[in-house]
Amino acid sequence: AQTVTQSQPEMSVQEAETVTLSCTYDTSESDYYLFWYKQPPSRQMILVIRQEAYKQQNATENRFSVNFQKAAKSFSLKISDSQLGDAAMYFCAYRSAYIDTGNQFYFGTGTSLTVIP
Amino acid sequence: GEEVAQTPKHLVRGEGQKAKLYCAPIKGHSYVFWYQQVLKNEFKFLISFQNENVFDETGMPKERFSAKCLPNSPCSLEIQATKLEDSAVYFCASSQYRSRYNEQFFGPGTRLTVL
């Protein structure tokens, strides 16, 4: 089974600064998708950014970007110009591209991000 | 609808009571997933459906937990004889068949508290 590891239970960043959240995963599959979700105290799961494994180019969504290293099985999230509203739990997730493998998400254990005014 | 709907938002049960949670997937989505998020934030996959058929139930506890997705009805997750450790937020997610990114859209969750 696939595993997703987030080695930073907590991170903090000064407002307007940049922070990077780490994620590594283990899989024997060659085609898959990776996601970062934000979960504020309301518990709503909000998609931040996603990456297709077969794409070399790192995904970018406004202030959010990823550093996807397929060989190293690493998928870090960079938040630039951090804002108070970015404070939340962040979950890294893996999903196989093969429908017949079950297609569930595998989540990391999350990183709690604090933004300091 | 355009969003995954889950009801109720909160559910409180005494130990041993039954709990039933509902999920209405986004219209046109063929896959429904149930996840359990315990207080330590860990997500556990429970079960998935392809339309009304169980697709993957490898995460479902063999006892006490059951789920259904019937045509023209919300999907449901039922816990018989709840235990304290069932206290968690239960998320439902849906996705289109072979959608780009295989993205799952999450509902707001149902917080189950077992006393």
Residues A102 and B56: beta-carbon distance below 8 Å: yes
| Substitution target from B43, B58, B96, B110 for chain A, most A beta carbons within 10 A | B43
Nearest to B101 by CA among A65, A48, A39, A7: A48
pLDDT bin (cut points 50, 70, 90) of residue B101 is low
Secondary structure of residue B102 in the 3-state scheme: helix
Q: What is the DSSP letter of B60?
A: S
Mean residue pLDDT across chain A: 93
Whole-angstrom Cα distance, residue A1 to residue A26? 8
Whole-angstrom Cα distance, residue B77 to residue B65? 7
**Of A46-55, B10-19, B99-108, which has the strongest mean pLDDT?**
B10-19
Any idea which residue has 């297709």 for tokens?
A52
Nearest chain A alpha carbon to B33: A104
Give percent above pLDDT 70 in chain A.
97
Q: How far is B10 from chain A (nearest CA, A)?
A: 12
Cβ contacts below 8 Å, chain A against chain B, sum to: 60
State pLDDT tens for residues B18-72: 999 999 999 989 899 999 999 768 899 999 999 999 989 989 998 999 999 998 8
**Of A41-45, B36-40, B78-82, which has the strongest mean pLDDT?**
B78-82
Say which of A33, A37, A106 has its CB closest to residue B102.
A33
Residues A79 and A90: beta-carbon distance below 8 Å: no
Q: Is the peptide bond before B8 cis (omega within 30 degrees of 0)?
A: yes
Nearest to A102 by CA among B97, B57, B25, B51: B57
Q: Is the confidence at residue A4, as pLDDT, over 90?
A: yes
Say which of A91, A97, A109 has its CB closest to residue B102.
A97
pLDDT of residue A103: 77
Secondary structure of residue A85 in the 3-state scheme: helix
Residues of A in contact with B33 (CB under 8 A): 104-105
Mean residue pLDDT across chain B: 91
pLDDT of residue B82: 96
Whole-angstrom Cα distance, residue B7 to residue B25? 12
Give percent above pLDDT 90 in chain A.
79
pLDDT of residue A98: 78
Task: Pull the structure tokens for residue B76.
Answer: 């449901």
Q: Is the confidence at residue A25, as pLDDT, over 80?
A: yes
| Substitution target from B97, B101, B111, B113 for chain A, most A beta carbons within 10 A | B101
pLDDT of residue B98: 58
Q: What is the mean pLDDT of residues A52-62?
A: 92
Give percent above pLDDT 70 in chain B.
93
Q: What is the mean pLDDT of residues A62-80?
A: 97
Measured over the CA atoms of residue B50, residue B54, residue B55 and residue B58, the dihedral's sign is: positive
Q: Is the confidence at residue A67, as pLDDT, over 60?
A: yes
Q: Is the confidence at residue A99, as pLDDT, over 90?
A: no
Backbone phi, psi, residue B85, to 5°: -75, -5
